[in-house]
Amino acid sequence: MSLDMCRADAVLAEKRLAVGVSGTDQLAIVGAGAWIADNAAELEAVIEALRPNEATNLEIDMGEVEAFDTFGAWILERLMRGDGRPRRVALLRLPARFHDLAEDVHETHRQTPSPGQRIAGPLARLADIGRGVEAAFEEVRRLVDMVGALVALCATALLSPRRFRWTSIVHQLDRVGVRSMPIILLITLLIGAIIAQQGFFHFRQFGADDYVVDLVGVLTLREIGVLIVSIMVAGRSGSSYTAELGSMKMREEIDALRTMGRDPLEILVLPRILALVVALPLLTLIGSLAALIGGGFVASFYGMEPSLYLARLQEAVSIADFEVGMIKAPFMALAIGLVACAEGFQVRGSAESLGARTTSSVVKAIFLVIVLDGLFAMFFSSIGM
Amino acid sequence: MGQSGLTQAIEVADLVVGFGGNTVLDHLDLIVHTGEILGLAGASGGGKSVLLRTLLGLIPKRKGQIAIFGVDQDKATSLELQVLERRWGVLFQEGALFSSLDVFENIEFPMREYLKLSPRLMREIAAVKLEMVGLKPEDGDKHPSELSGGMTKRVALARALSLDPALVFLDEPTSGLDPIAAGEFGVLIRTLQRTLGLTVFMVTHDLEALETICDRVAALADGKIVEIGALAQVLESEHPWVKSYFRSVRSPLPLSRAPVTP
């Protein structure tokens, strides 16, 4: 309590914290004022400037010190300890009310941990690369693990369909399918319109207006529809899967499920991934339709009759174009769902790791979607679709 | 302790706090003297934590005044409030350690925000604080998710004490600890209070903590402080809730060393 009063006064007191008188191999330090947190930086600087570790005979007079807290006590303690060279230290006139604290601090902290030592240089770079490669392989292994576990789960669940958790699947379908329809319709409509507008703008120069319909139809059905929808779903639903599972992991909810003898893969992951696998093709279908309609709007704006647009569309696109787009959709869904759930399970204790995993879930899912799309393009062209 | 003539650490007058149609604190008055350890007891859901959070300014009040070290929170400027916040430390029930920082960084965080210390001095003082709360310097590199419940409480206490505050709020400091650890934690708080000259406001369910650590005990019931004083005095209260709550101190468990009331 006395300390507390002193502390209030100390703010007003002049800041003369320590004065040193040095002789040959000898240093006398007279402390004064408030040796408290607010003055600690200054106090440290003043004392370091006196180079106390070089004196073999040190005398510290604390009689004038008016306030004293852990910060002051530690600086005094550090002063008395020196750097290990043998020397004589005398502590004079430390006010009795500070004894307990000085004693407490004296007991602690026998070795000083250095703040954040880190290996630097090219070797560290190399180690970073090594760790990165290792992590990438680990990542692939985890995904493959999860695919295997899910396939096994599906196989056993087919024998007893009750294990599919229909309620949960329907709930997830509502979340990732029905509720994402408005935004997906809007975006794909705009994309279709933009493609058509660009087509008319450039094709008109050499009178190839009719081919704009081919452009919109083929591009939308084969590539853009499924790609845009997958990217949207990765950002919208993949991220929420990761965040949900991650925070459940942090709060030990997943461990709780395990201890009740329930497999988190069965209860949490399978319904989510199945919902995505069902929802994404449907979203791709309506998204592609919306893009075609968006293209139609722009076409009528450029003076092409809707009936003509439809007739051109029927000539331009074949059922194969539609199939190419739709076949890809469930695979995209699987990739997004697997990455999102695997990342969710990777969340560790900290809030930061939840954020990092959610980011990496979206980034990896979008990357995988585009790589898969490229592989499918090669596959379909080689089988002539 | 708690001599008169000084500014009181906490003065609460006529405090009303509620949510919706539900009044939790109903015209509550309370004084905490500078330099004492006050324990606040009360039923679960009875408003103990609400009172604590209102004192800290985390929950808005409907009516009444709160002054901490003579600073009225309604009239204070933002600078005065900042100075005030610099002078108190809070131990939250679950620790509320920053999960992305390690233990040392958690303890250093208030220092980093308020003082311009050299990294070396900051780390050394963090290590001193860590040892004062009974942990080892090696624990300083751990992250909060790697700590046990008792360690989390200790680190949270070290962080609350980081700036050598004059007033410490403890929300259920011993909950979730085994009786031995709880006892040690109590002794620790007592020792730190003595050496650092702290004022401690402690919310607790732990009868033993009330008995061994606290200078005074306040009983919260029906939204009011119905009894305040030394434990012996509270034990003699005629208030029905206080009577039933503290009956367990007198019987059947003989853990009490409190004076037996007639």
DSSP conformation class of B259: P
Question: Which letter, b or e, does each residue of A370-380 get, where b requires 16 or more Cβ atoms within 10 Å of its Cβ?
Answer: eebbeebeeeb
**Residue A260 DSSP SS3:** coil
| Rounded-to-integer distance, Cα B123 and Cα A112, Å | 8
DSSP strand pairing (B216-221 vs B224-229): antiparallel
The DSSP-derived string for B171-199 is ESTTTTS-HHHHHHHHHHHHHHHHHHT-E
A114:B104 CB<8 A:
no
B164:A350 CB<8 A:
no
| Rounded-to-integer distance, Cα A39 and Cα A60, Å | 18
B125:A5 CB<8 A:
no
Q: What is the pTM of this model?
A: 0.70
**How many residue pairs from chains A and B have C-beta atoms closer than 8 A?**
104
| Rounded-to-integer distance, Cα B184 and Cα B179, Å | 9
Chain A residues inside the 8 Å CB shell of B196: 3, 69-70, 101
Omega of the bond prior to A330 within 30 degrees of 0, cis? Answer: no
pLDDT per position as a tens digit, A190-203: 999 999 999 999 99
pLDDT per position as a tens digit, A129-171: 999 999 999 988 988 998 898 888 888 888 888 778 889 999 9
Rounded CA Rg of chain A: 35
Rounded CA Rg of chain B: 19
Contact A306, A207 (CB under 8 A): no
Chain B residues inside the 8 Å CB shell of A70: 125, 128-129, 132, 161, 164, 196
B117:A44 CB<8 A:
yes
Q: Which of A12, A68, A247, A350 to mutate to test the interface with B (most CBs of B within 10 A)?
A: A350
Q: Give the minimum alpha-carbon distance from A274 to chain B in angstroms, rounded to a whole number.
A: 33
A71:B122 CB<8 A:
no
Say which residue the tokens 């402080």 belong to. Answer: B225
Of all residues in chain B, the one with the smallest CA distance to A1 is: B197
pLDDT per position as a tens digit, A229-245: 999 999 999 999 999 99
| Rounded-to-integer distance, Cα A38 and Cα A209, Å | 77
* Residues lower than pLDDT 50 in chain B: 1-5, 252-256, 260-262
pLDDT of residue A116: 52
- CA distances, B44 to each of A309, B49, B220, B231, B236 (Å): 71, 9, 10, 20, 22
Closest of A125, A67, A117, A121 to residue A97, by C-alpha: A67
Closest of A230, A248, A244, A247 to residue A336, by C-alpha: A230
DSSP strand pairing (A18-23 vs A26-35): antiparallel
Q: Which of B164, B167, B168, B189 to mutate to test the interface with A (most CBs of A within 10 A)?
A: B164
Contact B30, B37 (CB under 8 A): no
Say which residue the tokens 């401690």 belong to. Answer: B200
β-bridge mates for residue B66, sequence order: B12
If one counts every other C-beta atom within 10 angstroms of the C-beta of residue A230, the result is 29
**Residue A66 DSSP SS3:** strand
**Residue among A1, A112, A353 whose CB faces B35 most closely:** A1
pLDDT of residue A15: 56
pLDDT of residue A14: 46
pLDDT of residue A119: 62
| Rounded-to-integer distance, Cα A199 and Cα A216, Å | 8
Q: Give the minimum alpha-carbon distance from A351 to chain B in angstroms, rounded to a whole number.
A: 6
**Residue among A44, A105, A113 whose CB faces B137 most closely:** A113
pLDDT of residue A2: 41
- Hey, what are A358's tokens? 């959610």
**Residue among B114, B145, B195 whose CB faces A349 most closely:** B145
Of all residues in chain B, the one with the smallest CA distance to A100 is: B195
Chain A residues inside the 8 Å CB shell of B6: 1, 5
Say which residue the tokens 């990761």 belong to. Answer: A242
Q: Which of A5, A12, A109 to mutate to test the interface with B (most CBs of B within 10 A)?
A: A109
**Residue among A70, A348, A353 whose CB faces B125 most closely:** A70
Spatial CB neighbours of B36, under 8 Å, sequence gap ≥ 6? B1, B2, B9, B199, B200, B215, B216
**Residue among B104, B119, B164 whose CB faces A71 most closely:** B164
**Residue among B100, B117, B127 whose CB faces A350 most closely:** B100
Of all residues in chain B, the one with the smallest CA distance to A250 is: B145
Spatial CB neighbours of A268, under 8 Å, sequence gap ≥ 6? A245, A248, A254, A257, A341
Contact B55, B10 (CB under 8 A): yes
Q: Is the dihedral of CA B100, B106, B110, B111 positive or negative?
A: negative
Chain A residues inside the 8 Å CB shell of B146: 349
DSSP conformation class of B8: P
**Residue among A3, A41, A348 whose CB faces B116 most closely:** A41
If one counts every other C-beta atom within 10 angstroms of the C-beta of residue A105, the result is 25
Chain A residues inside the 8 Å CB shell of B114: 37
Say which residue the tokens 């703010």 belong to. Answer: A11
| Chain A positions touching chain B (beta carbons under 8 Å) | 1-5, 7, 36-38, 40-41, 44, 69-71, 74-75, 78, 100-101, 104-105, 107-109, 111-115, 348-353
| Rounded-to-integer distance, Cα B27 and Cα B23, Å | 10
**Residue among A109, A112, A348 whose CB faces B145 most closely:** A348
**Residue among A7, A38, A352 whose CB faces B100 most closely:** A352
* Residues lower than pLDDT 70 in chain A: 1-15, 109-120
A109:B131 CB<8 A:
yes
A1:B34 CB<8 A:
yes
Question: Which letter, b or e, does each residue of A285-303 get, where b requires 16 or more Cβ atoms within 10 Å of its Cβ?
Answer: bbbbbbbbbbbbbbbeeee
pLDDT of residue A134: 94
Chain B residues inside the 8 Å CB shell of A353: 100
The DSSP-derived string for A93-145 is ---GGGHHHHHHHHHS-SSPPPS-----SHHHHHHHHHHHHHHHHHHHHHHHH
If one counts every other C-beta atom within 10 angstroms of the C-beta of residue B95, the result is 20
- CA distances, A96 to each of A2, A34, B178 (Å): 12, 16, 36
User: B14 phi and psi, to 5 degrees?
Assistant: 55, 45
Q: Is the dihedral of CA B219, B185, B114, B97 positive or negative?
A: negative
Contact A358, A235 (CB under 8 A): no
**Residue A45 DSSP SS3:** helix
Q: Give the minimum alpha-carbon distance from A37 to chain B in angstroms, rounded to a whole number.
A: 7
| Rounded-to-integer distance, Cα B39 and Cα B32, Å | 10
Of all residues in chain A, the one with the smallest CA distance to B99 is: A350
CA A178 centroid distance within chain: 27
Burial of B96 (0-12, 13-18, 19+ CB in 10 A): middle
ipTM entry: 0.76
